[in-house]
């Protein structure tokens, strides 16, 4: 069975390393970066704003939902599992006192499911101010969905693409303040862009596929910012560092155990997501990649991860074709 990493993200620019991927902990880089944090940046109230968060039943998604609900937003939790979603919904309403929190059941690995959700949600005819693409997956085995897609790609790339594209009309209703925040990963620093979206190699590597997926998310964010720059929607990707979430524990138990007590909490991982949701758009760079409340480089020296416009255009055409095929 696939393991949902609805909240964890491989990441970190510094810190101890594992499998070629560095790990940053809250006590290291985060402590240095937090010296520059401004408390007033997180004090904004956002009553009247509608926020959709995928993978919101636990981990970073849950922490983001609770953080936005506590600031007065109307929050829609998009969760695959109805029971876990209902538990998260009840807890957030109780903790925040905000009753404008709602559950939407949707499996992000399924284009058909996302289309059904988009159709249902569009009938509400409400503007979407903030879409947080948080749902993610790191499955170590090669598994295909019922629609025929490798499951990591289906959730991390195709699901993210489909959800974003289908929400654009509702986000335009919230312009010029609408924004899309995609929770990516520092793991993308290890992966160049590839058009081999479903990892055709005979020897499947889930961690490598995850890193590839996360690179695509960052480049997609750049592409969306370019394509829709005149629609009043901002597009941002970010990585939260390594957080001690259920997804990390399930997908990489050895790693989680080895760094027990050194990883970020879900709330710390969600910090930059919430920060991006609250800042005036003039303070942010559409298409930018953020880490610890600041724009971060998208490529590290000597990693050969820069990409061509032709490659991303080809990937977008493929994703568009897959989305429209069902």
What's the mean pLDDT in 142-152?
98
3-class SS of residue 54 = strand
Positions marked active-site: 210
DSSP state for residue 4 in the 8-state scheme = B
Q: What is the chain's length?
A: 326
- ∠101-10-318 over CA atoms, to 5°? 80
pLDDT of res. 303: 72
pLDDT category, 22, cuts 50, 70, 90? very low
pLDDT of res. 14: 32
- Cβ neighbours of residue 121 under 8 Å, at least 6 residues apart? 52, 76, 104, 167, 170
Has residue 245 got a pLDDT over 80?
A: no
What's the mean pLDDT in 279-304?
92
What's the mean pLDDT in 142-146?
98
User: 16-20, 61-65, 192-196 — which one is most confidently predicted on average?
Assistant: 61-65
Question: How many Cα atoms occupy the beta-carbon half-sphere of 279 within 13 Å?
Answer: 24
Question: Considering only CA atoms, which of 18, 16, 29, 20 is closest in space to residue 268?
Answer: 29
pLDDT category, 19, cuts 50, 70, 90? very low
pLDDT of res. 305: 76
Find out whether 277 and 132 touch, Cβ atoms under 8 Å: yes
Question: Considering only CA atoms, which of 143, 145, 139 is closest in space to residue 158?
Answer: 145
Has residue 10 got a pLDDT over 80?
A: no
Has residue 254 got a pLDDT over 80?
A: no
Beginning with the edge strand found earlier in the chain, give each strand of the sheet holding 233-238 in spatial order: 101-105, 74-79, 50-54, 130-133, 178-183, 233-238, 289-291, 294-295
Has residue 25 got a pLDDT over 80?
A: no
What's the mean pLDDT in 283-295?
97
Report the alpha-carbon distance of residue 223 to residue 232 in Å, rounded: 15
Has residue 4 got a pLDDT over 70?
A: no
pLDDT category, 317, cuts 50, 70, 90? very high
pLDDT of res. 34: 78
- Please, what is the angle between helix 309-324 and helix 206-227, to 10°? 100
pLDDT tens digit sequence for 53-75: 999 999 999 999 999 999 999 99
Task: Please state which of the ranges 91-100, 215-224, 247-256 shows the lowest mean pLDDT.
Answer: 247-256
């Amino acid at each position: 069975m696939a393991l949902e990493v609805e909240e964890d993200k491989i990441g970190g620019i510094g810190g101890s390393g594992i499998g070629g991927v560095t790990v940053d902990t809250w006590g290291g880089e985060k402590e240095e970066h937090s010296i520059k944090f401004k408390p007033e940046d997180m004090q904004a109230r956002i009553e009247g704003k509608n926020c959709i968060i995928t993978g919101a039943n636990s981990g970073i998604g849950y922490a983001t939902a609770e953080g936005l609900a506590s600031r007065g937003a109307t929050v829609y939790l998009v969760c695959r599992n109805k029971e876990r979603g209902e538990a998260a919904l009840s807890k957030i309403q109780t903790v925040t006192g905000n009753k404008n929190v709602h559950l939407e059941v949707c499996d992000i690995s399924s284009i058909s499911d996302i289309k059904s959700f988009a159709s249902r949600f569009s009938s509400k005819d409400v503007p979407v101010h903030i879409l947080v693409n948080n749902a993610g997956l790191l499955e170590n085995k090669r598994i295909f969905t019922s629609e025929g897609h490798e499951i990591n790609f289906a959730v991390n790339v195709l699901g993210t693409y489909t959800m974003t594209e289908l929400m654009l009309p509702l986000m335009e209703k919230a312009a010029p303040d609408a924004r899309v925040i995609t929770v990516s990963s520092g793991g993308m620093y290890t992966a160049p862009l590839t058009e081999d979206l479903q990892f055709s190699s005979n020897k499947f590597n889930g961690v490598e596929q995850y890193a590839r997926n996360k690179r695509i998310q960052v480049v997609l964010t750049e592409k969306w910012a370019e394509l829709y720059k005149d629609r009043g929607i901002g597009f941002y990707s970010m990585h939260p560092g390594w957080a001690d979430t259920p997804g990390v524990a399930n997908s990489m138990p050895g790693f989680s155990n080895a760094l027990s007590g050194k990883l970020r909490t879900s709330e710390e991982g969600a910090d930059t997501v919430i920060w991006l949701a609250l800042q005036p758009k003039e303070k942010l760079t559409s298409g930018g990649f953020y880490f610890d409340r600041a724009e971060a480089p998208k490529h590290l020296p000597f990693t050969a991860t820069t990409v061509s416009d032709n490659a991303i255009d080809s990937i977008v055409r493929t994703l568009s074709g897959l989305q429209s095929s069902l």
